[in-house]
């Protein structure tokens, strides 16, 4: 596997390093009269790698996984296999002149999580960014891969709403004293008709007024209403504040003005400005008079509407207080507009430099941001408008990278310190640079590899590095499906959403321990310790004697050595995510092992080929394994299922929600599998031992961290980087931290292609 160490030993020649292996183990199926899979290797020469590298990529993966040669054919020795794959890896990673250019990376945008972190770290504002922003598209397993990102006109409107919410909260200037009350009488309301002392809604709809709210926050909405009742129901109302925030449905039974009642609801708005406040009438009723029968009409009367708040006011924010002090010192009591305008421009320039993650912003940029507001407006309104402009600018939403200096032999340029700071914070904190990191960039501390590594090590010690573990781990392990996944209640009575949260938290805490304590990555495969709460301990059959350490908050480090659970393969989060709602799925579990742990995802099924459904006619008496065997008999399915199913059946000792099956359960006794290279195992523990012997896990993990850190798919040119990171690991104790730092130390992370930007379509 260590191509850089072995390439010198195997040499560069095709005839010496490749042809003997191909003739001995490949050409019988891929040459002459028998060319399987449209891959003819009988006439291959050194130029074949350059002409059709994708075929050789496929061949390399099959040989590494032991799938070629297939069972029944003469298998190469471990040394033969290693020498051939090392040579092939080295050749696929080289160009004709021996120089591997850096791949170009399309412009990247902040993800939803990064946007929320930026609001928190830059302005001390907490918002649920998912309420505003479009969901991030996923590419190559992660939500921040540049080639999968886009920004439509509709998306931009949502970014504008988010920017207004952030600016309102960041520059809140609450005054001391009780919350302000705004009352609207019938003549102020629209959406119905004012008549007498009330505003009437004669049909379903909303009657309200635009309330000028100073900022986002919590408000109390009150209304005094009564109804002209008719039919079998009384009037139903709902208090409204904003187009998004709505109160609970209430019944308004009063039938006379003198009995009118006051209804109220505490609601939140996400942005200030003119916000609709009013009452929604939900159940209109009308029956005309007919055949001597009296008519009936249900209508709603609104006497007044009030908005009180914000209720969560706590005085001016730190940002507005700081801005006010700067403005006061700059103007020094001088009333002239010029002094105030100069002070505002200076403040805007400083805020923009931090927000846009750059060294400085020139006066022209500051002037354009100030031009977004009326020069006669108050300073807070002008700063708010400027901040909204900063937050919808491409210079904030995207991560532009141009590099500095002359390009090198690899046709690349070194990233500037501020660009490196942006990459580091997105990678390690799922956010944007804080003031301290930007100061390092400003001082030139990020202009060298040593300085970048020192900064990265310090960032990994920061609590914000937990965001890397949770964001990377959740996506790498394909656990986001658990946010909406629920099992069949009849099949699993007593299951709760709290148990799902415990499942996800267990996996996150195990990964956090791996990073913080620099534990061996191999423990993720065959480790005998995990972190559980009482719900998971019950599911796993653990008791107090299995507890090794009390972590507080109801969580414990527990010993699994007396069970079959090993590493991630025993986590209920993984087992549930790879199951159906009513049963386990050996296919999904086997595919997960191939894709996540071995980095060798099978292709999607051919069109028209379905998964294994319920038992078909004639299959009622077949075992689960026998039904899968029939499924694999389809030639469209056989090749992939021969790889996936044995791995999945090795985990059949567990139910769909991750509990160990009862000893008498036939599926627990039928958890045996055989890999394409002939190795066999029975049960989860033996499967973990098989995977522990695979070099491929480490390589697959390095590849996934690299994709996450670089924000793009890996290409053949990146093989050298991956091999170099693996070389830098302690073979007996490789750690997550060393992998992360290996990615950070690479040219691929610290430099950028000097060529044109290209979108990767791999």
pTM across the whole model:
0.76
Q: What phi and psi values does residue 173 have, to the nearest 5 degrees?
A: -125, 50
Measured CA to CA in angstroms, residue 402 lies from 82, 215, 416, 671 at distances of 40, 37, 8, 54
495-554: per-residue pLDDT in tens? 888 899 999 999 999 999 999 999 999 999 999 999 999 999 999 999 988 898 999 889
Calculate mean pLDDT across residues 365-390: 94
Answer whether residue 300 shows pLDDT above 90: yes
Give ∠ CA 381-385-391 in degrees, rounded to 5: 140
Report whether 171 contacts 125 (CB < 8 A): no
The whole-number pLDDT of residue 570 equals: 95
The whole-number pLDDT of residue 639 equals: 57
Q: How confident is the model at residue 606 (pLDDT cuts 50, 70, 90)?
A: low
Q: Comparing 65-74, 407-416, 520-529, which segment has the lowest mean pLDDT?
A: 65-74
Residue ranges with strand state E in 253-295: 261-269, 273-281, 285-287
* Whole-number Å distance between alpha carbons of 304 and 199: 8
Using a pLDDT cut of 70, give the percent of the chain over it: 85
The whole-number pLDDT of residue 620 equals: 45
621-639: b or e for each residue (b if 16 or more CB lie within 10 Å)? eeebbebbeebbeeeebee
Using a pLDDT cut of 90, give the percent of the chain over it: 43
DSSP 8-state symbol, 168:
H
Report whether 563 contacts 540 (CB < 8 A): yes
What is the β-pairing status of strands 412-414 and 547-552? unpaired
50 half-sphere exposure, CB direction, 13 A CA radius: 8
Considering Cα of 606, then 612, then 617, then 622, what sign does the dihedral take? positive
256-287: per-residue pLDDT in tens? 888 888 999 888 887 777 889 999 998 899 98
* Whole-number Å distance between alpha carbons of 336 and 49: 74
Report whether 628 contacts 586 (CB < 8 A): yes
* Whole-number Å distance between alpha carbons of 566 and 528: 6
What is the β-pairing status of strands 246-252 and 205-213? unpaired
The whole-number pLDDT of residue 246 equals: 59
748: Cα separation from own chain's centroid: 22
The pair of structure tokens assigned to 260 is 């009118």
The pair of structure tokens assigned to 663 is 């000893």
Q: Where are the domains of the chain?
A: 3-92, 109-173+317-398, 181-308, 480-692
625-639: per-residue pLDDT in tens? 666 666 555 555 555
Beta bridge partners of 262: 224
The pair of structure tokens assigned to 485 is 């996944």
472: Cα separation from own chain's centroid: 7
Interaxial angle between packed helices 719-727 and 696-710, expressed in degrees from 0 to 180 and rounded to the nearest 10:
120
452, 354, 388, 401: which is closest to 146 by C-alpha?
401
* Whole-number Å distance between alpha carbons of 128 and 359: 29
The whole-number pLDDT of residue 315 equals: 73
381-418: b or e for each residue (b if 16 or more CB lie within 10 Å)? ebbbbbbbbbbbbeebbebebebeeebeebebbbbbbb
The whole-number pLDDT of residue 599 equals: 87
Report whether 487 contacts 575 (CB < 8 A): no
The whole-number pLDDT of residue 10 equals: 37
The three-class DSSP label of residue 290 is: strand
Given the structure tokens 């102020």, which residue do they identify?
188
Answer whether residue 676 shows pLDDT above 50: yes
Answer whether residue 688 shows pLDDT above 70: yes
CB count within 10 Å of CB 32 equals 11
The whole-number pLDDT of residue 758 equals: 42
The pair of structure tokens assigned to 44 is 């291959």
Average pLDDT over all residues of the chain: 84
Report whether 10 contacts 83 (CB < 8 A): yes
* Whole-number Å distance between alpha carbons of 383 and 379: 6
58: Cα separation from own chain's centroid: 29
Biggest CA–CA distance in the chain, Å, is 106
* Whole-number Å distance between alpha carbons of 331 and 316: 20
- Give the fold, CATH level 3, of 181-308: Jelly Rolls (2.60.120)
Answer whether residue 74 shows pLDDT above 80: no
Measured CA to CA in angstroms, residue 593 lies from 150, 469, 654, 703 at distances of 31, 20, 15, 15
The whole-number pLDDT of residue 699 equals: 92
Beta bridge partners of 342: none
Q: What phi and psi values does residue 517 have, to the nearest 5 degrees?
A: -100, 5
């Amino acid at each position: 596997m260590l191509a850089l160490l072995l390439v010198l030993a195997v040499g560069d020649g095709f005839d010496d390093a490749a042809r003997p292996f191909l003739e001995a183990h490949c050409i019988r199926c891929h040459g002459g009269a028998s060319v399987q899979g449209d891959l003819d290797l009988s006439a291959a020469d050194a130029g074949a790698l350059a002409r059709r590298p994708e075929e050789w990529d496929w061949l390399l993966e099959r040989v590494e996984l032991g799938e070629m040669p297939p069972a029944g054919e003469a298998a190469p020795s471990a040394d033969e296999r290693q020498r051939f794959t090392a040579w092939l890896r080295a050749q696929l990673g080289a160009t004709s002149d021996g120089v591997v250019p850096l791949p170009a990376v399309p412009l990247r945008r902040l993800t939803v999580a990064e946007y929320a972190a930026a609001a928190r770290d830059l302005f001390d504002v907490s918002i649920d960014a998912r309420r505003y922003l479009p969901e991030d598209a996923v590419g190559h397993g992660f939500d921040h891969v540049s080639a999968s990102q886009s920004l439509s006109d509709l998306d931009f409107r949502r970014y504008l709403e988010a920017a207004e919410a952030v600016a309102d909260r960041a520059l809140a200037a609450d005054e001391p004293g009780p919350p302000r009350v705004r009352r609207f009488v019938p003549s102020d309301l629209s959406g119905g008709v004012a008549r007498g002392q009330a505003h009437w809604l004669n049909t379903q709809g909303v009657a309200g007024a635009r309330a000028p709210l100073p900022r986002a926050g919590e408000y109390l909405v009150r209304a005094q209403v009564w109804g002209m009742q008719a039919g079998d129901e009384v009037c139903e109302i709902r208090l409204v504040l904003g187009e998004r925030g709505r109160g609970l449905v209430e019944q308004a039974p009063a039938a006379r003005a003198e009995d009118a009642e006051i209804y109220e609801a505490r609601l939140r708005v996400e942005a200030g400005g003119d916000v609709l406040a009013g009452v929604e009438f939900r159940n209109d009723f009308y029956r005309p008079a007919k055949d001597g029968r009296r008519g009936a009409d249900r209508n709603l009367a609104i006497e007044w509407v009030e908005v009180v708040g914000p209720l969560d006011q706590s005085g001016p924010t730190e940002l507005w207080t700081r801005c006010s002090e700067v403005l006061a010192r700059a103007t020094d009591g001088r009333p002239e507009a010029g002094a105030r305008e100069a002070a505002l421009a200076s403040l805007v320039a400083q805020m923009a430099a931090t927000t846009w993650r750059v060294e400085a912003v020139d006066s022209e940029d500051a002037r354009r941001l100030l031009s977004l507001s009326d020069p006669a407006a108050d300073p807070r309104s002008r700063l708010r408008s400027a901040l909204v402009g900063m937050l919808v600018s491409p210079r904030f939403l995207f991560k532009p990278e141009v590099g500095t200096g002359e390009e090198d032999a690899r046709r690349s340029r070194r990233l500037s310190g501020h660009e490196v700071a942006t990459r580091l914070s997105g990678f390690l904190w799922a956010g944007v640079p804080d003031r301290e990191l930007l100061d390092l960039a400003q001082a030139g501390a990020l202009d060298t590899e040593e300085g970048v590594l020192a900064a990265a090590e310090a960032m990994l010690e920061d609590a914000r590095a937990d965001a890397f573990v949770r964001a990377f781990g959740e996506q790498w392990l394909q656990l986001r499906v658990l946010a909406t996944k629920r099992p069949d209640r009849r099949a699993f009575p007593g299951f709760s959403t709290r148990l799902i949260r415990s499942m996800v938290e267990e996996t996150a805490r195990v990964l956090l321990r791996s990073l913080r304590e620099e534990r061996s990555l191999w423990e993720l495969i065959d480790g005998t310790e995990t972190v559980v709460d009482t719900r998971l301990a019950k599911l796993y059959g653990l008791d107090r004697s299995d507890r090794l350490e009390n972590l507080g908050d109801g969580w414990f480090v527990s010993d699994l050595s007396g069970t079959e659970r090993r590493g991630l393969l025993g986590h209920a989060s993984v087992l549930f995510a790879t199951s159906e709602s009513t049963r386990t799925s050996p296919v999904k579990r086997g595919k997960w092992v191939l894709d996540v742990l071995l980095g060798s995802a099978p292709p999607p099924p051919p069109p028209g080929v379905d998964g294994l459904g319920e038992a078909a006619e004639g299959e009622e008496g077949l075992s689960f394994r026998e039904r899968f065997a029939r499924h694999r008999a389809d030639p469209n399915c056989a090749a992939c299922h021969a790889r996936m199913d044995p791995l999945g059946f090795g985990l059949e000792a567990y139910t769909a929600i991750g509990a160990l099956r009862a000893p008498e359960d036939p599926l627990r006794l039928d958890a045996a599998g055989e890999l394409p290279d002939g190795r066999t195992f029975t049960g989860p523990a033996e499967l973990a031992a098989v995977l522990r012997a695979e070099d491929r896990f480490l390589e697959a993990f390095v590849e996934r961290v690299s994709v996450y850190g670089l924000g793009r798919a890996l290409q053949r040119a990146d093989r050298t980087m991956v091999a170099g990171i693996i070389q830098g690991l302690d073979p007996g104790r490789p750690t997550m931290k060393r992998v992360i730092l290996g990615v950070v130390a690479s040219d691929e992370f610290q430099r950028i292609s000097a060529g044109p930007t290209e979108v990767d379509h791999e």
